[in-house]
Amino acid sequence: MRTSVKTATNKSQLYGASRNNRKNNSLSFNDKRSSTAQLKKIQESANTQSPVQFVKPKPLSEMVVDRTKGDTDHARESHDEVFRNAPDEDTQHMRAYQEARDNNLGLNDLTLSKENLEVVPEIIGMLPVMLKEALDSSENDNDRAYTFRQRFFKTFNQNTTLDKVAKYAYKRMMDISIGEAYLNQLKHEDQNFNFNLIEEDIQYRTPKEGLFGPSQSSLDMATQIANRILREAFQSQSQEERFFKIATGVGAGLDSSNDTARVASKILEDYLKPKLMDFIYKLPLSEGGNDEVWEGDTLNSNVVDNEGVQLPQDDTWVRPKVQEAWDNISNIVSPAVLNYTGKAGVKVDGLVGRAFYRTEEKMIHLNKVTSSKATVMHEFGHHLENHSKVPHWIKLHQLMRDRSNGTDLKKIVPFTIPFVISGDEMRYDTDLPASGEMGGCMGYNVKYYDHGSTEVVSTALEVFHNREKAYRIAVKDPGMFLAVMGVLRGR
């Protein structure tokens, strides 16, 4: 149900003066007293000392850079992807100066512990003096930014809470400038999915015998509607666009009480559903092939108890569920994605308790009694998403943010249900059209995580062992379905 991430140190990115004649400046961010590790402790304290109620989602640009931090292969690969065309450090410092000038360095937007929050007003009160000095120094914004930077690090040059929070806020704005540059340059390529939607297969058909109830005029009108949707779909050369058009037509009449809409949906379904089931459950040679997954291991290769001891092979509580889940996963997720995200394990923490996935361990945590095949598939969805390539992960977040129109977050439930959900958990202010088919309830599938995970892949994958639910997800919300399959197939 949950995904857990420990804040990690980004060892590869230290910020210093970028011009050659400033490299030895004593106010450089490379000063040991303002190391990245020290600054990140502020964020850690917010996560561990004081539960917070998030109001607005963290900027996606900041989440992008957060994803590059940590001493793991995945973080390093993400870092290379995001920082490949990062702006120079003068541009990053300019972003911090502008935010200090226009928005108090974003200090009021930070999620901090009570101790760290107490120093924020004092820092904000000190900024005007520095900004005035910068404004008086030159008519040129680049020179002003440099003057502000010099004064800022001369002022906040100690290891107190005040200094650490100030430097954390400054560095955060530099990170955001890098994330913004990456998002501005990112171009989502065509996914090149093959749904095998070929126009030659089409026979513009009338409803099959056995459809009782609708009048002949409703049948004729439904056939015309279905034919028009099919013809429009095949005007596109893109398989994704063809799928989207036909699936939208199916979804529009799927549960309708209107005879015409329902019959049109059934005509389209007769064509789409067999092809969609093949797409989901039969990996094509280009995605399946003979690739060996995890050097021959499976998810059942590493199932341990809370002491780290392997469960017996004849265990009848957990291993059968893990194996069932793996059989489904390996038929749906491409070997290339499984190998890229890497091996995961399973740990049984006790008889009861809430299941979760811990990213830094690559470990699914279950309980012995209530965890099911769906539970395993759900938590494995977090493994796939949290270790996916950056562009695929970004699509999920853009989906949530676009649909919620930048509105404030809201609580999933107003109270805590033990072993199920906390009253502190927040969600995007939107609903997924296919939420009734997906796992979770009460808006759990649009849950917000400050560290950048979502529940979209997990709550979809957990029901993919049920073909009818997978089909209904695809036709009720084709946009979300394509984003999920982008993660599962690495496209």
Do 240 and 190 touch, CB atoms closer than 8 A?
A: yes
Res 285: pLDDT:
60
Q: What is the 3-state secondary structure (H, E, C) of the chain?
A: CEEECCCCCCCCCCCCCCCHHHCCCCCCCCCHHHCHHHHHHHHHHHHHCCCCCCCCCCCHHHHHHHCCCCCCHHHHHHHHHHHCCCCCHHHHHHHHHHHHHHHHHHHHHCCCCHHHHCCHHHHHHHHHHHHHHHHHHCCCHHHHHHHHHHHHHHHCCCCCHHHHHHHHHHHHHHHHHHHHHHHHHCCCCCCCCCCCCCHHHCCCCCCCCCCCCCCHHHHHHHHHHHHHHHHHHCCCCCHHHHHHHHHHHHHHHCCCCCHHHHHHHHHHHHHHHHHHHHHHHCCCCCCCCCCCCHHHCCHHHCEEECCCCECCCCCCCCHHHHHHHHHHHHHHCCHHHHHHHCCCEEEEEECCCCCEEEHHHCEEEEECCCCCHHHHHHHHHHHHHHCCCHHHHHHHHHHHHHHHCCCCCEECCCCCECCCECCCCEECCCCCCCCCCCCCCCCHHHECCCCCCCCHHHHHHCCCCCHHHHHHHHHHCHHHHHHHHHHHHCC
Residue 86 lies in a domain: yes
Specify the pLDDT at position 208.
Answer: 53
Q: Does residue 376 lie in a domain region?
A: yes
Predicted confidence band of residue 25 (pLDDT cuts 50, 70, 90): very low
Q: Assess if residue 58 is contained within a domain.
A: yes
In a domain, 336, yes or no: yes
Q: Are residues 70 and 116 in the same domain?
A: yes
Domain-located, residue 412: yes
Residues 216 and 246 reside in one and the same domain: yes
**Residue 120 included in any domain:** yes
The overall average pLDDT reported for the chain is 86
Q: Residue 189 — pLDDT band, cuts 50, 70, 90?
A: confident
Reply yes or no on whether the pLDDT at 102 is more than 80. Answer: yes
Q: In the chain, how long is the greatest CA-to-CA distance?
A: 85
Q: What pTM, to 2 d.p., does this model score?
A: 0.85
| Residue 213 or 90, more confident | 90
Question: What is the structure's pLDDT at 248?
Answer: 96
In a domain, 286, yes or no: no
pLDDT higher than threshold 90 for residue 66: yes
Please indicate whether residue 408 or residue 251 has the higher confidence score (pLDDT): 251
Q: Report the DSSP pairing between strands 303-305 and 356-358.
A: unpaired
287 falls within a domain: no
pLDDT for residue 22 is more than 50: no
The total number of structural domains that make up the chain: 3
**In terms of domains, do 387 and 263 share one?**
no
Q: What is the pLDDT of residue 376?
A: 98
Same domain for 338 and 442, yes or no, is yes
Same domain, 148 and 274: no
Give me the mean pLDDT over the 51-77 stretch.
82
**Same domain, residue pair 230 and 140:** no
Task: Identify whether residues 456 and 310 lie together within a single domain.
Answer: yes
Q: Are residues 166 and 261 in the same domain?
A: no
pLDDT in tens, 216-263: 788 889 999 999 999 999 999 999 999 999 999 999 998 888 989 999
Residue-wise pLDDT for 439-457, tens only, equals 988 889 999 998 899 999 9
What domain range is 414 assigned to? 296-489
- pLDDT for the residue 205: 60
Return the minimum-mean-pLDDT range out of 1-15, 149-163, 313-327, 459-473: 1-15
Distance, in Å, from the CA atom of 443 to the CA atom of 425, rounded to the nearest integer, reads 11
**Last residue of some domain: 116, 151, 185?**
185
Q: Residue 171 pairs with which residues in a beta bridge?
A: none
Indicate if 180 and 271 belong to the same structural domain: no
| pLDDT confidence bin for 365, thresholds 50/70/90 | very high
Task: Please give the average per-residue pLDDT across 1-15, as a whole number.
Answer: 42
Reported confidence tier of residue 30, pLDDT bands at 50, 70, 90: very low
Residue pLDDT, tens place only, 341-357: 999 999 999 998 889 99
167 and 139, same structural domain? yes
Among candidate residues 249, 281, 313, the one where a domain is terminated:
281
In this structure, the answer to whether residues 232 and 322 fall within a common structural domain is no
Claim to verify: residue 235 and residue 305 sit in the same structural domain? no
- Stronger pLDDT, 361 or 206, i.e. the higher one: 361
**305 φ, ψ to 5°?**
-85, -175
For 274-317, what is each residue's pLDDT tens digit?
Answer: 999 999 998 876 565 557 899 999 999 999 999 999 999 999 99
Q: What is the pLDDT of residues 159-188, one digit of tens each?
A: 999 999 999 999 999 999 999 999 999 987
pLDDT in tens, 32-60: 334 445 445 544 544 443 334 457 888 99
State the CATH number of the domain containing residue 327. 3.40.390
Q: Number of C-alpha atoms within 13 angstroms, CB side, residue 13?
A: 29
pLDDT at 295: 93
